[in-house]
Structure 1
Amino acid sequence: MAAPRTAFSQGRFYGAPTVERRLSGVRLAHLEATKRADHVDEHSHDDAHFVLATHGRYITTAVGPETEGPVLVYNPPGVVHRDRFVDGGGYFLAVSFEAADWRALADAGRGVAIDALRLTGPVARSAAVRLTRSLLARDAEPLSLESLSLELAAQALTPARDSEKRPTWLDLAETYLADTFDQPIGVADLARVAGVHPVHLARGYRRWMGAAPGDRLRARRLERAADLLMRSRDPIGEIALASGFCDQSHLNRQFIRAYGVTPGEFARLCGRRSDVSGVQDDGAGPA
């Protein structure tokens, strides 16, 4: 007879908290993974929660495009999954809402996603990264933590209707961007690969991605930079060039806009404290 699946109560995961805060309607924790991949079984959670993997390679079956950079996942209450870190030493942020509170948020909004989602949009990622930084600072105001938590929650509270499936040509264009982001790319190049008129492509990007093609190119470059900051020990200046940016200053400005932190701060959040502690971030802010 098969063993029953584990059903975790609110805020409980395969991890040991390094920092934990309980607020009105939400529970926040930064955790160190405690189970090897082969020891993580299928399981569920009583709560609705978000997980941001800040260190280590994280595998998820959640719906959504696979991208580089930090993995951010939303899981509804009761969904069965086996998301896990491939190797040991993983760290992650967990943002948990009790099922009743989550239903209340859904009733007040426009519905809620019923499937596990892989969130790759800039608003969701920025909120999750800033929430991680605030939580690890240990002295953040509850209002700030609650606001960022709700900003993140909103990304799963307005799902697209089934009749609004995004077109397949968009996947072709996105794949092309992912493969050639470090090269000069024009709208005509994307339109040719996707097989649509450039005007149609620009309108489609704005409707389905909420951004212009140029914004998505920049996002791809930032995803590569974030991925390298998480996994490599290369100097930030070299990471900037490898990600398609002109220099470290250029990366710094764009990274702050997208994630709300500098590349150096992000690297420290991801566990690279020893080799970036002496690195000075470029002081230039968003321009």
Structure 2
Amino acid sequence: MNECKVDCECHGSRDLAAGEFYGDVVRRHASPQFLLSEIHHGRGRALPTHTHQAAYFSLLVEGGYAERYDGRRYEYDPLTVWWHRPGVVHDDAVGRSGGRFFNVELTTEGMDALAQAGPSRRDFHEQGTPVVWLACRLLRELRHWQPCSGLVAENLALEMAGCALRRPEPPAPSTPRWLDRVVQTLHDEPERRHYTSALAREAGVHPVHLASVFRRTHRQTIGEYLRALRVRRAANLLRSADMPLVQMAATLGFADQAHFTRIFGDVVGMTPSAFRRLLRPHS
């Protein structure tokens, strides 16, 4: 997010209760374990230092956002999800054009259920990972609430809560420079049809060695990693561009629109058209 001119609200530090926000809550749903809120800021603003009594996930749907906590400043682009435990002291700035957020807060009952499953992770933020797509699906459910939505929302929220569990992570292996070059090639040209043999030849290693080291380092195959890159790029294009889906499929390296729709649906949980309507309801 670019540095923005924002209005400053010079209030003292506050401890916000569940469901309490500085922005306007445009829709909300409460359940015993979770509180879902879509929040809108119509203008840029710098918010005072504050804490939240509830642990929560937040999805930046549109606009810009930055926050400072634990002595560091973080800037987030749309389609970023962050998790904060209760009581984390932070101060925020909403980008100059305002922003739209979707928050999933855990009630006391929800936190008790999470604690029974295991200790929660420290604060984190992610893009292009399952927790982001779960948040998008949950937002869509909130906007189109039906009689069966309570059960659907509960299951999606529980899956999100599972992403906050602290998992024992083995020490990250040292990354050889040749692997960094391979990853950079994938990021530079995700639309290309890459072959392990060609990537290995460019890296100067055997294809079997490349496949083994890549999976050990990134916890997925090269193909899975590339598919996730393409879906993430597609999500950003759907958010910001009016490109026809058939053209988007070709641009991103999918075989055709049907292939694009199937892969995107498998990863995100909705079609590209539904995702575009979610993020750009008036387009």
Q: Same fold (TM over 0.5)?
A: yes
User: How big is the shift at 1:258?
Assistant: 0.8
Aligned amino acid, residue 30 of structure 1: E
**Letter in structure 1 aligned against 2:250:** L
Supply the distance in 2 between the matched residues of 1:33 and 1:78 (Cα, whole angstroms): 23
C-alpha deviation, 1:13, in angstroms: 2.9
Query: 1:202 & 1:69 partners in 2: Cα distance?
Result: 32
What does residue range 112-261 of structure 1 map to in structure 2 within 5 Å?
Answer: 112-118=120-126, 120-121=128-129, 123-139=130-146, 140-161=148-169, 164-165=171-172, 167-169=174-176, 173-188=182-197, 198-207=207-216, 209-261=218-270
Q: Is the 8 A contact 2:33 2:109 kept in 1?
A: no
The 3 A distance-change label for structure 1 pair 78 and 194 is farther
1:284 counterpart residue number: none
Unaligned runs of 5+ in 1: 276-287
Per-residue deviation, 1:240: 2.5
Rounded Cα–Cα distance in structure 1 between residues aligned with 2:93 and 2:218: 28
Return 84-93 or 169-178, whichever deviates more.
169-178
Corresponding residue number in structure 2 for 1:45: 52
On the 8 A contact 1:67/1:223 being kept in 2, the answer is no
Higher strand share goes to which structure?
2
- CA positional deviation for 1:22: 0.4
CA-to-aligned-CA distance 1:102-132 (integer Å, 9 cap, x gap) = 2x234322321122332542x3233212111
CA offset at residue 189 of structure 1?
5.3
**Structure of higher CA gyration radius:** 2
Q: Tell me the distance in 1 between the aligned counterparts of 2:250 and 2:133.
A: 22
Q: Does 1:32 align with 2:36?
A: no
Query: How many percent of aligned residue pairs carry the same amino acid?
Result: 31
Tell me, in whole angstroms, the C-alpha distance in 1 between the residues paired with 2:127 and 2:208: 27
2:32–2:110 CA contact under 8 A, matched in 1:
no
Instruction: Show the counterpart of 1:7.
Output: 15
User: In structure 2, what is the equivalent of residue 93 of structure 1?
Assistant: 102
Paired residues of 1:44 and 1:77 also in contact (CA < 8 A): yes
1:56 lines up with 2:56 in the alignment: no
What are the superposed Cα offsets for residues 121-166 of structure 1, whole Å, 9 maximum, x if unpaired?
A: 2x323321211111111224322111110101101103344x5235
C-alpha separation in 2, matches of 1:13 and 1:246: 44
TM-score, with structure 1 as normaliser: 0.78
Gaps of 5+ in 2: 1-9
Distance (whole Å) between structure 2 residues aligned to residue 69 and residue 194 of structure 1: 34
The one-letter code sitting in structure 2 at the alignment partner of 1:130 is: R
Q: 1:39 to 1:19 in 2, by over 3 A?
A: same
Residue 70 of structure 1 corresponds to: 79
Flag the 1:5–1:262 CA change in 2: closer, same or farther, 3 A.
same
Q: In the aligned structure 2, how far is the partner of 1:235 from the partner of 1:158?
A: 40
Per-residue deviation, 1:32 = 1.5
Deviates more, 1:213-222 or 1:248-257: 248-257
So what's the TM-score if we normalise by structure 2?
A: 0.79
Higher mean alpha-carbon deviation, 18-27 vs 245-254, is at 245-254
Separation of aligned partners in 1, 2:172 and 2:220: 17
Q: Does the C-alpha gap of structure 1 residues 110 and 174 become closer, same or farther in structure 2, counting only changes over 3 Å?
A: farther
Secondary structure at the residue paired with 1:273?
coil
Of 167-176 and 260-269, deviating more is: 167-176
Query: Size of the alignment, in residue pairs?
Result: 268
Displacement, 1:205? 4.4
Encode CA deviations 1:182-217: one digit per residue, 9 max, x unaligned: 223233455577787644543454455442110110
Higher relative contact order (CA 8 A, sep 6+): 1
User: Pick from 95, 116, 126: which aligns with 1:108?
Assistant: 116
What CA RMSD, in Å, does the superposition of the two structures yield over aligned residues?
3.3
Letter in 2 for 1:71: T
